[in-house]
Amino acid sequence: MNAHDRRGALLGWLRGRQSGTAAQASAHFRVTERTILRDIATLRARGEPISSSSGPGGGFNLDGTARLAAVRLTVEEVLGLALAAGMARQVATGLPYSLAADHAIDRLISTLPRDRVATFRRLMGRITLGLPESMRPYTGVGQVEGGLLGTFEAAFSSNRVLTFEYTDRKGQETSRTVEPHGLLLQVPIWYVVAHDRLRGAARMFRVDRMKGVVLGDEVFEPRPPSWFEEYLGPCASQATGQR
């Protein structure tokens, strides 16, 4: 998220609560408190009615009568909401407001320019929810390395290779260079579906077993969705791209 988008999100974050501290905002947006304070100063200079108070319970407040800015979400933001709704349905069926969430996502998609809708559809078509029983994790979930999510998102969106150290379920360690063609999500685990250059074939990698992930400069040619649908087998029929 760039500074412009973060400041817009910060306004929404403040509007959604009576008050918020720089420490809370820092944790929420995963930036330093100094960055949040700079954002607050920039927003105030722009005329946003943000007040502050000190002492216990103090923090920043946004005047409830402040004007509402037009909401323009990025492809990645709409994609994140769509995945969150899809994963919620994996956890439980018949969730309250789930249909309303689907309608909201459809409305958000309609606000995207045509080229960004195409990007959204392309990415969604490469994401699958659910695993057959035989492919479920054998061990508990480990910690995902810090910074991995952002690195993966950049690689997935721009078709760039990833290199990393991988530990398989037998404890064997190898160095891998892969083309990340798809995602497979099974709460609480997610996998990168990739062409593995070490093996010269399709492979899946659990993200909590990936370390030292580096985004490469090389851009690869995306393989058709049928390539990893065939690899995934029956669970590919649950692809979230079928919205």
pLDDT digits (tens, 9 = 90+) for 34-43: 999 999 999 8
Tell me the percentage of the chain whose pLDDT exceeds 70.
Answer: 82
Give the best-scoring range by mean pLDDT among 2-11, 53-62, 213-222. 213-222
Confidence of residue 57 (pLDDT cuts 50, 70, 90): low
Residues carrying CATH 1.10.10.10, the chain: 3-62
Q: H or E stretch including 78?
A: helix 75-91
pLDDT (tens digit per residue) in 91-118: 655 667 777 888 888 888 888 888 888 8
89 vs 242, higher pLDDT: 89
Instruction: Answer whether residue 238 shows pLDDT above 70.
Output: no
Least confident of 36-50, 89-103, 187-201, 210-224: 89-103
Instruction: Answer whether residue 134 shows pLDDT above 60.
Output: no
Query: Residue 242: what pLDDT?
Result: 43
Instruction: Answer whether residue 241 shows pLDDT above 50.
Output: no
Query: Residue 234: what pLDDT?
Result: 52
Which of the listed CATH numbers 1.10.10.10, 3.30.300.20, 3.90.1150.10, 3.40.640.10 matches domain 3-62? 1.10.10.10
- Token look-up 């010269």 returns 200
| Separation CA 182–CA 19 (nearest Å) | 40
Instruction: Answer whether residue 211 shows pLDDT above 90.
Output: yes
Q: Read off the pLDDT of each residue in 46-64 and give the average, rounded to a whole number.
A: 77
Q: What angle do CA 111, 115, 116 make, to 5 degrees?
A: 55
Least confident of 25-39, 55-69, 127-141: 127-141
Instruction: Answer whether residue 161 shows pLDDT above 90.
Output: yes
The overall average pLDDT reported for the chain is 81
Instruction: Answer whether residue 212 shows pLDDT above 90.
Output: yes
* CB proximity list for 61: less than 8 A, separation 6 or greater: 14, 18, 19, 50, 51, 52, 53
- 163 DSSP β-pair partners: 177, 214
| Separation CA 140–CA 164 (nearest Å) | 21
| Separation CA 4–CA 44 (nearest Å) | 14
What the block records as the tokens of 208 is: 């909590």
Tell me the residue type at 158. Answer: S
Q: Read off the pLDDT of each residue in 76-88 and give the average, rounded to a whole number.
A: 84
